Structure 1
Amino acid sequence: MKYSLKTHQGKRKDNQDYAGVFFNQSGLLLAVLCDGLGGHQAGDIASEMAVSQIGNGWEGTDFSSQDTYLVQNWLKEKINKENARIYEAASTYSDLEGMGTTLVASVILKENVLFSNIGDSRAYTYFNNQIELVTEDHSFVSELQRKGALTDLEALTHYNRNALTRSLGVEGQVDVDFFKRLINKVDVIMLNSDGLSNAVSETEMLEILKQTDLSLDQKSEMLVNKAIENEGSDNITVSLIDVNMTPDHKVGEDK
């Protein structure tokens, strides 16, 4: 399948997002996107560690497209292993203290697309001219919204709107959320950092994804540009995967 990765530092001095697409020995695609947390270069290191290590580990596996349960268990174990590595590095080196990262990932299987996430980087699906948010943000305001204690409008200006309730780089085990969607109900997968979803509405995303005359690269470029145009202040990263295209087995990374 075809894929496109685009990233931009936005109004930040550096880019702490990192994304990659990897294929295992059986040709199964894993896409991973992380948004680093922490000052100076620490966030960069955490996000690159998570994507690179999980992606490199995936390339050595031989799961088949029917191994949904095995893939989910592998991801849970591997993500927790990277959580421990990031925490250990942050605890060992003073310049990395407090570093962490969000994570969102997808694996395309025979009957399903498997999604996993920690933090507020998101996964969407596009199908039949409609967009669906698959993942749930692990953030303070999102959890209040889900409980009905905060409206969407209040969440936009809440003083604690950037606080996460879950991320990689913490002591002990981290809970990983998993979601599945039937592959025949998915045309395009979109993974993105919050720099995109905080600046671009779902209506604007849909208008871009619906344009049949644009390539996948053009769509991802337009999504990033729309976030910049809308005064997005954070790093902006988007990964698009067209599940209907002919397989193109190569490993890609975008920093």
Structure 2
Amino acid sequence: MKYYGKSHIGLRRKNNQDSICLAENQQHALLAVVCDGIGGGKAGDVASALAAEHMKKSFEQAVLCHKNDVEVKQWLKGVIQEANDLIFTQATRREEQRGMGTTMVGILHCPDATYVFNVGDSRTYGLYEDDFLCLTEDHSYVADLLKRGEVSEEEAKHHPNRNVLTNALGIWDSVKVDINKVKEDYKMLLVCSDGLHGYVSEELIRHIMESDCALQAKVDLLIQAALDAGGYDNVSVILVDKEDAADE
């Protein structure tokens, strides 16, 4: 298992409100998380950093080997709720941070299982032998419209409310988390903020992931693709490669 991640401020923003977490523990479990802060000037960067740091610290102290699916999912739900509480409490105590929050998306890879978790509209994608799939469901106003068949995929891409979230960390005192165990037949996983998937086509993302480049170069190419598309947002990318490629 090889992995690499990077975050970039983009070309239009004054600060980077994304935070990433990449950690491997002594049991050879891997945690990869991307958080995209929200709240504009109201400390979205603080919220995303709080969430990422809490996940990393909790993961490094956890014993996850030999846990069953229910126990692993309970652990994930618990630490994500704790991250929500940290942000929510701090936001209520500091006027300048009131209203801050963050998305969170990530994977937890244990030696015998992989779990995907999500809050908000950051995403995880899976590259397979013959397929490329989004493994998370956006928690957004437009995603709900799509689900109800009220807009088409093309209309959703240009909808004026496409960035309106229906779920995020730190905004309410409790948080809804999607947690799913995924099959182990993937070749590579991509964890990213909407600074990538909101501006770069899935066709191009897949093409870069399938290229013969080393893992670090693929991450750089994905970020460059977002910058070439205008760099309107911060962009964060983590790639986790299950293949032992000779060129790496």
Deviation at 1:109, TM superposition (A): 2.5
After the TM superposition, which of the residue ranges 65-74 and 16-25 deviates more from structure 2?
A: 65-74
- Secondary structure class of the residue paired with 1:132: strand
Give 5+ residue unaligned stretches, structure 1.
Answer: 247-255
Do residues 195 (structure 1) and 195 (structure 2) align? yes
- Secondary structure class of the residue paired with 2:226: helix
Deviation at 1:182, TM superposition (A): 1.3
**Contact 1:25/1:62 (<8 A) preserved:** no
Partner AA of 1:217 in structure 2: Q
Aligned counterparts of 1:66 and 1:92: Cα–Cα separation in 2: 37
Do residues 231 (structure 1) and 230 (structure 2) align? yes
- Secondary structure class of the residue paired with 1:240: strand
| TM-score (structure 1 length as normaliser) | 0.91
Partner AA of 1:222 in structure 2: L
- Which string of whole-angstrom CA distances, capped at 9 and with x for unpartnered residues, describes residues 119-166 of structure 1? 000000111153110000000001110110111222122221110000
- Secondary structure class of the residue paired with 1:149: coil
**Contact 1:124/1:190 (<8 A) preserved:** yes
State the match for 1:22 in structure 2.
23
Aligned counterparts of 2:67 and 2:210: Cα–Cα separation in 1: 30
Identity of matched residues, %: 36
State the match for 2:218 in structure 1.
219
Deviation at 1:74, TM superposition (A): 0.6
Matched residues, number: 244
Task: Indicate how the Cα distance of structure 1 residues 57 and 152 shifts in structure 2: closer, same or farther if over 3 A, else same.
Answer: same
After the TM superposition, which of the residue ranges 17-26 and 94-103 deviates more from structure 2?
A: 17-26
Deviating beyond 6 angstroms after TM superposition, the runs of 4 or more aligned structure 1 residues are none
Aligned counterparts of 1:110 and 1:147: Cα–Cα separation in 2: 38
Aligned counterparts of 1:130 and 1:235: Cα–Cα separation in 2: 27
**Contact 2:42/2:99 (<8 A) preserved:** no
Deviation at 1:41, TM superposition (A): 6.1
Partner AA of 1:172 in structure 2: D
Aligned counterparts of 1:119 and 1:150: Cα–Cα separation in 2: 20
State the match for 2:41 in structure 1.
40
Superposition pairs for residues 1-255 of structure 1, below 5 Å? Answer: 1-10=1-10, 11-40=12-41, 42-64=43-65, 67-183=68-184, 185-212=185-212, 214-245=213-244
